[in-house]
Amino acid sequence: MIRDLSRLFRPKSIAVIGGGAWCRNVIFQCRKIGFDGDIWPVHPKADEMERLSCFRQLEDLPEAPDVAFIGVNRFVTVEAVELLSNMGAGGAVCFASGFLEAEKEDAKGAELQRKLIEAAGDMPILGPNCYGFINYLDGALLWPDQHGGHRVDSGVAIVTQSSNIAINITMQKRGLPIAYVATAGNQSQQNIAEIGAALLQDERVTALGLHIEGFGDLRAFEKLANTAQELGKPIVALKVGKSAQSRAATISHTASLAGEDAGAQAFLDRLHIPRVNSLPEFLETLKFFHVYGVLPSKNIASISCSGGEASLCADLAVNRDLNFPPLSERQRANLRDALGPMVALANPLDYHTYIWNNAPEMIKAWAAMIDEPVDLTMLIVDFPRQDRCNALDWESAIIAATECAKKSDRAVAMVASLQENMPEKVAQRLLKHGVIPLMGMDEALAAAEAASRFCANHTIAEPVLLAQPIAQSELMSERDAKVLLAKYGMSIPQSREANSAFESASLACAIGFPVVLKGVGIAHKTEAGAVVINLQTALEVQNVAGKMPCDLFLVEEMVCNSVAELLVGVVRDPAHGYVLTIAAGGILTELLQDSCSFLIPTTKEQIGAALRELRISTLLDGYRGADAANNKAIVDSVIAVQNFVMENSTTVVEVEINPLLCGTERAVAVDALIRISKDAP
């Protein structure tokens, strides 16, 4: 259900229910920020709170409040929510904990949360177990603690599941104008995607930042991405969870390659939402979005008065998806005119100190760099300590930067190599003149990379295939798995199952040599000595079978002359859907760690692009004059796996082809694994 959150986030009247220090602080912070609406304390015994007269019960309020802060215990919280909903209140912040997040410690938690949702009905609620929100645009908040922000006319919105992270963000000294900070707690009703979509509707909000612990409702995030596209407002995500232990790869390699985070990354990629790795990167990216918006290309330039800074900037960008293009002829001519013959022209550029503290000459030189093919020019300037040094000579740098930004429609950033080397007042001054003040060289590059990854005016992919709940699963035999995949278009080798070494030899003759012999029912066959290739005679087959640690065998046609080996796998991820992974295959799969993952459904175009991203693509394209693999056959094989999963999503747990032998004419699945529900027909 889509609820109207406008009354909740932009209230004219606030009820504060409870009498503890948290509730008193809500009233204090409302006054401090300049809230000009009504504040109604509600307490059954107190006469006043923070010099405001108390109402004995909610029914005594002059009218239904736009929003209420509920600062009482969890049981009374449910009662209060029901009363507010029946009154027609605009929403509530549920501060109390002990609901679903405490389920492991208290069996009552889950049932209480169910009752809370039922009590709320159509009324929106934040939490439980959350601090609420701060609206710095209108001076309205339901926030029971200190915060470090101030009123703004426009800014970014930040939504997080963690109240403590939210507090920390408000204390930033980076000059970032924050319009809203909202916390979601355990998201009993309103998740962070729904909150983010509501805040983006405010025309004064320029961008959205999401601190994500878990996605929850994938459909809500898909709607959010579409909303951001429609409004032309970028989103950046700080998604935690990379350090979680990967799935136990007891049988397949796919699970260990995908890990716990691949689904999350694939989902964000699908929504074209850039992901950053730290709070500093998060805040700098939001600052970039607020000042300039989306970076149209990955082409950047750096200009500084030190070769050390120039080389450091170049090195820090090595593993990022950014490009320092060579200087154009016009750039070179204008820079030579501005800097003279003593400066070696390059990008990144060390312009030396000949023009330092000469604003007109700095403007001339810096403006020469801000030109095609560069879309972002980083002016690297570190300011001296305010408490021990004099920064008067740095005034020329501020003047030059602001003048350059005024004359160009391209992104201009002033970058301090260390975060502490740009005073907040300088950052705020630069912001007013359209210069992006970025603190920390590595963080600046991360922000530029993220700003180039948010794709404006693109079409959101169709909804992901949601993972169905499956209690218990079992492994199909390899031969059955291959036969089943063949029905969906997968090419497989000829094969027969044998119950003895003698029968294996007989079937090998029928198939034709050379053959491959495999032991059936053994995980990781290579390690167990249960797969032998290139057997040329019946005697060889019989002897090898006699040494294998099994009683059932698979005799297969040996596929020769392959160009490369790939892995194609799908794992069911309850949090993100079905993760499709393509990787370098064979026995070195986990060692090479050369893989791409995305969510089902995907397209042939995306699969082709993923293949080109792999390091093994060099082999697929024909290494050192060798023949290239049949790319169409590879893509068709991946689509066959996807089609199988989509048609059997209620029963499939895992699929893996390893290796998929990629030849010049066909791609053949020589080993296959399928895990399905035990209840599957």
Report in angstroms the alpha-carbon separations of 409 from 192, 375, 377: 34, 9, 11
**CATH 3.40.50.261 residue ranges in the chain?**
295-453
Class for domain 564-677, per CATH? alpha beta
Residue 512: closest CA among 547, 541, 485: 541
Report in angstroms the alpha-carbon separations of 386 from 113, 391, 420: 51, 7, 10
| Pairing outcome for strands 133-135 and 140-142 | antiparallel
Question: What token pair was written down for 546?
Answer: 């006699």
Sheet holding 38-42, edge to edge: 38-42, 13-17, 67-70, 92-94, 125-126
Q: CA-CA distance, 138 to 9, in Å (whole number)?
A: 9
The confidence score (pLDDT) of residue 245 equals 34
| Angle between helix 478-486 and helix 631-647 axes, rounded to 10 deg | 100
**CATH 3.30.470.20 residue ranges in the chain?**
564-677
338 phi and psi, to 5 degrees? -80, -35
Q: CA-CA distance, 291 to 415, in Å (whole number)?
A: 14
Could you give the residue ranges of the DSSP H alpha helices within 370-420? 395-407
The confidence score (pLDDT) of residue 254 equals 56
Handedness of CA 572, 577, 582, 588 (dihedral sign): negative
CB atoms within 10 A of CB 337: 11
The confidence score (pLDDT) of residue 259 equals 53
Phi-psi region of 521 (alpha: psi -120 to 50; beta: other; left: phi over 0): left
Question: What token pair was written down for 179?
Answer: 């319009």
Query: Is the peptide bond between 341 and the residue preceding it cis, with omega within 30 degrees of 0?
Result: no
- CATH architecture for segment(s) 494-557: 2-Layer Sandwich (3.30)
Contact between residue 584 and residue 594 where contact means Cβ atoms under 8 Å apart? yes
Residue 590: closest CA among 613, 567, 564, 617: 567
The confidence score (pLDDT) of residue 258 equals 52
The confidence score (pLDDT) of residue 592 equals 75
Query: Domain spanning 6-213 has what CATH number?
Result: 3.40.50.720
Residue 159: closest CA among 126, 202, 124, 195: 195
The confidence score (pLDDT) of residue 247 equals 37
Handedness of CA 530, 535, 541, 547 (dihedral sign): negative
Say which DSSP state 392 is in. Answer: G
**CATH 3.40.50.720 residue ranges in the chain?**
6-213
Would you call 350 exposed, middle or buried from its count of C-beta atoms within 10 A (0-12, 13-18, 19+)?
buried
Report the largest interatomic distance among the alpha carbons of the chain, rounded to a whole angstrom: 98
The confidence score (pLDDT) of residue 375 equals 96
Contact between residue 212 and residue 183 where contact means Cβ atoms under 8 Å apart? no
The confidence score (pLDDT) of residue 103 equals 66
**Residue 570 CB-half CA count within 13 A:** 28
Stretches where the chain sits below pLDDT 70 are 1, 102-104, 242-260, 455-459, 590, 681
Q: Give the list of residues 6+ apart from residue 540 with CB closer than 8 angstroms, or none.
A: none
Q: Name the CATH topology of 295-453.
A: Rossmann fold (3.40.50)
Contact between residue 442 and residue 431 where contact means Cβ atoms under 8 Å apart? no
Contact between residue 599 and residue 615 where contact means Cβ atoms under 8 Å apart? no
| Pairing outcome for strands 495-498 and 436-439 | unpaired
Question: What token pair was written down for 441?
Answer: 């060289």
**CATH 3.30.1490.20 residue ranges in the chain?**
494-557
- Is residue 620 helix, strand or coil? helix
- Is residue 350 helix, strand or coil? strand
Residue 305: closest CA among 341, 243, 355: 355
